[in-house]
Structure 1
């Protein structure tokens, strides 16, 4: 199998989601650690400006957003299935809810003062100030829950999830793990990183048991790689994963476009459109260090916009 290179950092919840999927699949992968906040020059060189963590690299192809990355990994290693038929279509809805609503409830709850003090124990004040400013810029315009609101909502969410496994099923959708399990698990993982606030999980022992089954998949076989080596691999790669622009979707192959998330960190990535389906958009861009790159995004949660060529 072509080398899978995951660009991530240890404390990233979405990175943990992908690490667990790689462990579930029993895969070997290369680990490139990225900065937790800007500047991220090597990240920008590969993604064109997408700054969210993680992203996945295979040669000169870059996949952004874990919803898309999970599908790529499942295609490369189809067994065991990440989207088992028995889990039905509901697994996708639960995964999307977990990646958005549950995540944005768990984060502000965990980042209350007691949680921050534990997670960033020993960090100098200047780091905490810079980290806060970085995340504030990423989420500008978003309405964030208060700690009290987040706590009440988490109790409801954890209660619903507890009821889902109360009948003794090992995973959320039944006997087999699926994408919903890994999407939900990342938020529990993050809350549990801060024991002073993780007490909120105490009433939900069946849910904790479910989480421990998911966590037991581990992270697969990991080999460290530098970002410079990852850039070199991209620059030396010839050819890309096949992509095409399907007709009837409002865009033509080769058009100049930007792609950006619609929820947070809305940094546009510009390039020439080389792939478009109902599920994925692919743009081609050139970087002086990374060479000719294809950057992939999912359609759900992202805006594709034509770049005006008019002059004033």
Structure 2
């Protein structure tokens, strides 16, 4: 029941981040391919509402957001390290920048009309419409960069990454850390998923060489797995005992309360459950599902909003 199960789809940039981490750590996993747009009934059976990609399942424990998934994989296999001691703070800070500021600039550049046409060139027109509607719903209320502004920002960020990898094989030295994988995945989307947009890399060949080094890590051992089998795994397992971490109460909401947790911005669909833990770094909710049984759903604290559930 401690097998790693990754729920993802091939063109998901954040899933590629975790696939590269799994390769780096040489961790075997089971691969469940999920839809790239709603409905996602098998995903929601596990998460109860959260629908961003990927999610990591270990038995009846469900881990949301790649920032938390990276921490879980580091606990599973400490070497090679994602968070080397001398980079403990800066690697996380750069990873957070890459997963947010860099990501949104890259995707606004990638999915302007020329890129979107390339991405959906082999699919029927309704696929592009469904994707646009789905992501529009997920980003409701967000301030999005215009393509012109995104292009200028992306070029600047690529030059800054180039300055770092011209000096080292990876961002901070001769070994990759979590910041490398976070910075890699939106660039991977440009290069692999919308190659017609990849001319933006021409002034920064060092970035492509760095990307090649990351792509050469692994691959991890992967076994194809069905979504219904993953749900059966959860139903037949018990959530792992919680670590004896200190309860950090910032909301005046006691443990055992009915709460919701939702992302601050993109993909704000809430997950409701019983608050089991609110530590310095994460929230854990217990919830019941008719198919998956009792599961514990885990979220990172940064980037997520905890609220008392409405009665």
TM-score normalized by structure 1?
0.96
Aligned equivalents of 1:74, 1:154: Cα separation in 2: 30
Gaps of 5+ in 2: none
- 2:128 is equivalent to residue 151 of structure 1: no
Aligned equivalents of 2:138, 2:309: Cα separation in 1: 23
Question: SS of the residue aligned with 2:306?
Answer: strand
State the superposition RMSD in angstroms. Answer: 1.3
**Aligned counterpart for 1:284 among listed residues 279, 283, 286:** 286
Residue pairs, 1:1-312, within 5 angstroms: 2-167=2-167, 169-193=168-192, 194-243=194-243, 246-249=246-249, 250-309=252-311
Aligned equivalents of 1:78, 1:88: Cα separation in 2: 13
CA contact (8 A) 1:139 1:265 kept: yes
Structure 1 residues 162-213: Cα deviation after superposition (integer angstroms, max 9, x where no partner): 111222x111011221000000000110110222111001110111111111
CA contact (8 A) 2:238 2:295 kept: no
Aligned equivalents of 2:218, 2:148: Cα separation in 1: 33
Which stretch of the first structure deviates more once superposed, 14-23 or 230-239? 230-239
Cα gap change, 1:87 to 1:239, in 2 (>3 Å): closer
Aligned equivalents of 2:220, 2:67: Cα separation in 1: 19
Aligned equivalents of 1:217, 1:126: Cα separation in 2: 36
Question: SS of the residue aligned with 1:144?
Answer: coil
Aligned equivalents of 1:247, 1:63: Cα separation in 2: 19
Aligned equivalents of 2:109, 2:219: Cα separation in 1: 26
CA deviation after TM superposition for structure 1 residue 16, in Å: 0.1
CA deviation after TM superposition for structure 1 residue 117, in Å: 1.9
Question: SS of the residue aligned with 2:152?
Answer: helix
Gaps of 5+ in 1: none
CA contact (8 A) 2:8 2:32 kept: yes
Aligned equivalents of 1:10, 1:192: Cα separation in 2: 14
Query: Following TM superposition, where does structure 1 have runs of at least 4 consecutive aligned residues deviating by more than 3 angstroms?
Result: 243-248
Which stretch of the first structure deviates more once superposed, 15-24 or 173-182? 173-182
CA deviation after TM superposition for structure 1 residue 240, in Å: 2.0
Aligned equivalents of 1:16, 1:284: Cα separation in 2: 28
CA contact (8 A) 2:31 2:224 kept: yes
Question: SS of the residue aligned with 1:31?
Answer: strand
Aligned equivalents of 2:78, 2:245: Cα separation in 1: 25
CA contact (8 A) 1:245 1:274 kept: no
CA deviation after TM superposition for structure 1 residue 247, in Å: 3.7
Aligned equivalents of 1:62, 1:247: Cα separation in 2: 20
CA contact (8 A) 1:244 1:274 kept: no
Structure 1 residues 37-81: Cα deviation after superposition (integer angstroms, max 9, x where no partner): 000000100000101000000000000000000000010011111
* Residue correspondences, number: 308
CA contact (8 A) 2:74 2:82 kept: yes
Structure 1 residues 146-167: Cα deviation after superposition (integer angstroms, max 9, x where no partner): 1111110011101111111222
